[in-house]
Amino acid sequence: GDMASVRTVLYMGVISSIQCNPVLRRFYNRLVAQGKHKKVAITACIRKLIVILNAMVRDQRKWNKNMA
């Protein structure tokens, strides 16, 4: 697979999530407030999203907006 396309999808998904998902928005804002660079905070959000998605697959659960 093309890892660049995977990164692009994850990046765009997180950018949208930061704007629309209150939990990820708070996480991102907290990291930025702690002095993290915005790209570092976005990368942390990507990792958090991957962990959430992995847990969803593992537990065979649907998306829950309060999960993040």
The structural domains of the chain, with segments of one domain joined by +, span 3-59
Query: pLDDT, tens digit, for every residue of 9-26?
Result: 999 999 999 999 898 999
Task: Give the DSSP per-residue string, the chain.
Answer: --HHHHHHHHHHHHHHHHHH-HHHHHHHHHHHHTT--HHHHHHHHHHHHHHHHHHHHHHT----TTT-
Question: Residue 68 and residue 66: Cα distance in Å, rounded?
Answer: 6
Query: pLDDT, tens digit, for every residue of 40-59?
Result: 999 999 999 999 889 999 99
Position with higher pLDDT, 68 vs 30 = 30
User: What global pTM score does this model have?
Assistant: 0.84
Nearest in space to 21 (alpha carbons), one of 63, 60, 55:
63
pLDDT given at position 65: 73
pLDDT given at position 46: 96
